[in-house]
């Protein structure tokens, strides 16, 4: 400890104010060169969703980070403090071509298996190391209380205890494997009014603490090295400027000794005057600033505040001490350059063993909501008609934060197996509907059909749905300040409204007398009363990722359905999705059928 303090003190003595501010600055890779890193002594870099070097191979990532690293430590005149590089590897190392893509957290919440989460975290860590990086902005510890929220799928669910348990195991396994974790978003992101991303969470301290703060305790105890502050407000005050939440609660009361990092430009929303915004957040206790693009402006603003005496040098020193201490404890000062480290996990990147973990996760995450006419399990000899827009679409299976920020559509650049391909491999007489509509359904030719329906990918605020607000969001229009790059889409929790083709597909096939197994791909529960009614069996598959075989194995009875709802499922009285609405949900937390038809799980 004493040695550590002496080490930190000797660094601080050597650093200019400008270099200290540089350590507090995190920049997006597209907006910085190795020369900038050296000249400004930058503390960290990141890749935003979909941002990748060169051909996006593991090797390209190693080479990129190696150049930045050398500029930080080895070049003549460099400060010599090693730099951190962070990514959002939120369901595997999902920005990188060929990485293993795991189910999104909502499915892992349904599986509710801490060992499985640990295996996924380890595999993800090995793939991160294989690309020469060391920091993951995960896990998300949001307690998703309202499925209108576009980030619901990044959450383990609405049960704080489940989030706490799975989050802890993720952190332990990730860090044991050698990658720094970052629990996010501190705090209350899943509790906003109407599930609005970056919105307002209004709760008294007791309720706020039990639901949103408590899930962080085990991860903090387990020694998570970094915490990312949330865009949302708590009782009218933005977290990014919240002295009580950051300094008094997290640092002082809970004893967190690592780095408190901002979210993407999270500071600029604190005040119209940028200098005032920076001052407010630094004085609230933020240590490192994710200022992806306009980082020079940030550095100038913070320097100005210090020179004017509005931010104390001791606050700056406290932040820098935390940054250096975390780098030291993680072992960054002793770490070889990325090009030398990559050997660590090179052959594990996208390997079969990781794919097997992903497939296991897919199987355990599926929740069976209905099974009549013994529609499930399917049998290998059956003539199965496979239909629906999500039957043969890896991008849709994987959801947002996959190769690009908002996710992909189609099978283009993703490696993996679609649900159709998985079924075909196990049931050779299966047939894919030519235009996916199921129009060819014929009881003389088909014993049963599988209709793969549901959402298309989205991320963050673009996935928000405002209750009662069934507007069409046009391409190029703004949602929560974000420009919609997606096709125009309707906002409604009701699937029959946003994707009427899905209900039509089920009804078309069922009307011909072929029983339909509906399989829903979605980042959250949707109002599907009519689809449930029309189908003989119904499976919630969440966003399973690239291992379609996992889904097929479960449908064909190679395992039982053991997933349970990690959050309540609303019925057509949409209000059921709302906290304190008083409506009974259609299915409660813990609901899920097994193949034998028995209900499993506990009712909460
Ligand atoms: C998200 C964070 C993410 C960051 C960097 C933000 O918009 O809220 O979860 O870590 O971007 O991509
Ligand atoms: C980035 C994301 C980030 C978002 C914030 C996007 O351009 O790719 O990583 O979370 O901006 O607005």
pLDDT tens sequence across 124-172: 999 999 999 999 999 999 999 999 999 999 999 999 999 999 999 999 9
CA nearest neighbour of 104 among 357, 360, 353, 365: 365
Determine the Cα–Cα distance for residues 45 and 545; give it in Å rounded to an integer. Answer: 27
287 & 416 share domain = no
129 & 204 share domain = yes
pLDDT at position 419, please?
Answer: 98
For residue 352, being part of any structural domain is answered with no
Residue 209 CB coordination number (10 Å): 15
Atom of ligand 2 at shortest range from CA of 51? 8
pLDDT at 22 over 70: yes
> How far from the centroid of its chain's Cα atoms is residue 466's Cα?
21
328 & 403 share domain = no
pLDDT at position 75, please?
Answer: 83
> The pTM is what?
0.95
What average pLDDT does the structure give for the chain?
Answer: 94
335 & 386 share domain = no
- At 584, the pLDDT band (50, 70, 90 cuts) reads confident
415: CA distance to ligand 1 center in Å? 24
- At 397, the pLDDT band (50, 70, 90 cuts) reads very high
Atom of ligand 2 at shortest range from CA of 46? 9
Give, for ligand 1, the residue of 192, 231, 264, 405 to mutate: max count of ligand atoms closer than 8 Å to Cβ.
264
Active-site amino acid positions: 263, 460
Give, for ligand 2, the residue of 184, 264, 483 to mutate: max count of ligand atoms closer than 8 Å to Cβ.
264
Q: Which two tokens stand for residue 63?
A: 């080479």
User: What proportion of the chain, given as a percentage, has pLDDT over 90?
Assistant: 87
For residue 466, being part of any structural domain is answered with no
282 & 198 share domain = yes
pLDDT at position 330, please?
Answer: 96
pLDDT at 183 over 50: yes
Which residues are near ligand 2 (CB < 6 Å)? Answer: 48-51, 264, 405
pLDDT at 488 over 80: no
Number of the ligand closest to the Cα of 151? 1
299 & 384 share domain = no
* Residues forming beta bridges with residue 227, ordered by sequence position: 183, 260
Which residues are near ligand 1 (CB < 6 Å)? Answer: 48-49, 88, 137, 184, 263-264, 460
pLDDT at position 603, please?
Answer: 43
pLDDT at position 600, please?
Answer: 64
Mean predicted confidence (pLDDT) in 220-232: 98
Give, for ligand 1, the residue of 137, 190, 231, 406 to mutate: max count of ligand atoms closer than 8 Å to Cβ.
137
8 & 144 share domain = yes
326 & 362 share domain = no
Atom of ligand 2 at shortest range from CA of 264? 5
pLDDT at 490 over 70: no
pLDDT at position 468, please?
Answer: 58
Nearest CA to ligand 1 atom 6: 264
Atom of ligand 1 at shortest range from CA of 292? 5
For residue 544, being part of any structural domain is answered with yes
Give, for ligand 2, the residue of 400, 405, 464 to mutate: max count of ligand atoms closer than 8 Å to Cβ.
405
For residue 594, being part of any structural domain is answered with no
Nearest CA to ligand 1 atom 2: 263
- At 576, the pLDDT band (50, 70, 90 cuts) reads very low
524 & 574 share domain = yes
Contact criterion met (CB below 8 Å) for 77 and 16: no
pLDDT digits (tens, 9 = 90+) for 332-344: 999 999 999 856 6
Residue labelled with tokens 């059909």? 449
For residue 431, being part of any structural domain is answered with yes
Write out the residue range of the structural domain in which residue 451 sits: 358-460+495-580
pLDDT at position 129, please?
Answer: 95
364 & 329 share domain = no
Atom of ligand 1 at shortest range from CA of 184? 9
Count of domains observed in the chain: 2
pLDDT digits (tens, 9 = 90+) for 501-535: 999 999 999 999 999 999 999 999 999 999 999 99
For residue 599, being part of any structural domain is answered with no
156 & 214 share domain = yes
pLDDT at 581 over 60: no
Mean predicted confidence (pLDDT) in 273-281: 98
For residue 53, being part of any structural domain is answered with yes
* Residues forming beta bridges with residue 6, ordered by sequence position: none
Atom of ligand 1 at shortest range from CA of 47? 12
Backbone CA torsion sign across 29, 33, 36, 37: positive
Residue 379 CB coordination number (10 Å): 12
Among 295, 316, 342, residue at a domain's last position = 342
User: What CATH number does residue 508 fall under?
Assistant: 3.40.50.1700
Q: Which two tokens stand for residue 258?
A: 């690592």
Number of the ligand closest to the Cα of 406? 2
Among 342, 372, 405, residue at a domain's last position = 342
User: What CATH number does residue 63 fall under?
Assistant: 3.20.20.300
Determine the Cα–Cα distance for residues 230 and 208; give it in Å rounded to an integer. Answer: 14
pLDDT at position 602, please?
Answer: 46
495: CA distance to ligand 2 center in Å? 27
275 & 404 share domain = no
292: CA distance to ligand 2 center in Å? 9
pLDDT at 604 over 50: no
How many Cα atoms occupy the beta-carbon half-sphere of 405 within 13 Å?
15
Count of helices and strands (H, E) across the chain? 21, 21
pLDDT at 194 over 80: yes
- Where on the phi/psi map is residue 232: left (φ > 0), alpha (ψ -120 to 50), or beta? beta
Strands 478-479 and 482-483: antiparallel
Among 294, 311, 342, residue at a domain's last position = 342
315: CA distance to ligand 1 center in Å? 25
266: CA distance to ligand 2 center in Å? 11
For residue 522, being part of any structural domain is answered with yes
Mean predicted confidence (pLDDT) in 579-597: 80
Nearest CA to ligand 1 atom 5: 48
215: CA distance to ligand 1 center in Å? 20
483: CA distance to ligand 2 center in Å? 11
- At 475, the pLDDT band (50, 70, 90 cuts) reads confident
Q: Which helix (H) or strand (E) holds 221?
A: helix 217-221
Q: What is the CA radius of gyration of the chain?
A: 24
């Amino acid at each position: 400890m004493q040695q550590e303090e002496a080490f930190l003190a000797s660094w601080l003595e050597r650093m200019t104010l400008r270099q200290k501010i540089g350590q507090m600055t995190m920049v997006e890779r597209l907006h910085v060169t190795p020369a900038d890193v050296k000249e400004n002594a930058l503390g960290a870099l990141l890749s935003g969703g979909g941002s990748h070097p060169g051909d996006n191979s593991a090797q390209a990532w190693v080479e990129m980070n190696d150049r930045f690293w050398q500029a930080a430590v080895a070049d003549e005149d460099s400060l010599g403090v090693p730099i951190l590089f962070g990514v959002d590897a939120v369901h595997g190392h999902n920005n990188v071509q060929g990485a293993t893509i795991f189910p999104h957290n909502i499915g892992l919440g349904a599986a509710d298996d801490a060992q499985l989460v640990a295996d996924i975290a380890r595999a993800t860590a090995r793939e991160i190391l294989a690309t020469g990086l060391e920091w993951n902005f995960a896990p998300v510890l949001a307690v998703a209380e309202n499925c209108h929220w576009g980030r619901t799928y990044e959450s383990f669910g609405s049960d704080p205890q489940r989030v706490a348990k799975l989050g802890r195991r993720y952190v332990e396994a990730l860090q044991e494997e050698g990658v720094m974790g970052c629990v996010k978003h501190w705090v209350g992101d899943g509790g906003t009014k109407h599930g609005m991303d970056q919105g307002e969470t209004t709760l008294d301290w007791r309720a706020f603490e039990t639901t949103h703060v408590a899930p962080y305790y085990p991860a903090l105890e387990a020694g998570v090295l970094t915490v990312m502050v949330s865009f949302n407000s708590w009782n009218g005050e933005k977290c990014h400027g919240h002295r009580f939440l950051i300094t008094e609660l997290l640092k002082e009361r809970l004893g967190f000794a690592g780095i408190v990092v901002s979210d993407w430009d999270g500071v600029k929303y604190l005040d119209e005057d940028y200098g005032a915004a920076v001052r407010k957040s630094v004085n609230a206790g933020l240590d490192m600033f994710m200022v992806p693009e306009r980082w020079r402006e940030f550095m100038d603003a913070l320097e100005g505040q210090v020179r004017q005496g509005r931010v104390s040098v001791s606050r700056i020193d406290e932040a820098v001490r935390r940054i250096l201490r975390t780098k030291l404890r993680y072992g960054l000062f002793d770490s070889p350059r990325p090009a030398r480290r990559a050997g660590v996990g090179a052959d594990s990147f996208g390997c079969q063993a990781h794919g097997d973990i992903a497939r296991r996760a897919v199987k355990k995450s599926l929740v069976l909501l209905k099974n009549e006419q013994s529609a499930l399990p399917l049998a290998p000899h059956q003539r199965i008609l496979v239909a629906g827009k999500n039957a043969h679409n890896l991008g849709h299976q994987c959801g947002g934060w996959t190769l690009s920020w908002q996710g992909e559509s189609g099978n283009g650049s993703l490696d993996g197996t679609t649900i159709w391909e998985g079924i075909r491999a196990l049931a050779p007489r299966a047939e894919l509907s030519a235009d996916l509509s199921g129009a060819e359904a014929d009881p003389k030719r088909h014993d049963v059909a599988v209709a793969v329906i549901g959402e298309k990918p989205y991320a963050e605020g673009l996935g928000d749905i405002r209750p009662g607000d069934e507007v069409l969001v046009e391409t190029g229009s703004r949602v929560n300040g974000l420009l919609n790059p997606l096709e125009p889409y309707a906002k409604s929790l009701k699937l029959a409204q946003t994707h009427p083709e899905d209900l039509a597909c089920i009804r078309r096939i069922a009307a011909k007398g072929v029983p339909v197994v509906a399989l829903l791909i979605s980042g959250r529960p949707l109002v599907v009363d009519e689809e449930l009614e029309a189908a003989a069996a119904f499976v919630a598959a969440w966003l399973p990722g690239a291992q379609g075989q996992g889904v097929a194995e479960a449908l064909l009875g190679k395992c039982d359905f053991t997933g349970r709802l990690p959050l309540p499922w609303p019925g057509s009285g949409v209000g059921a999705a709302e906290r304190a609405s008083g409506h009974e949900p259609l299915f409660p937390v813990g609901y899920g059928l097994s193949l034998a038809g028995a209900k499993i799980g506990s009712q909460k």
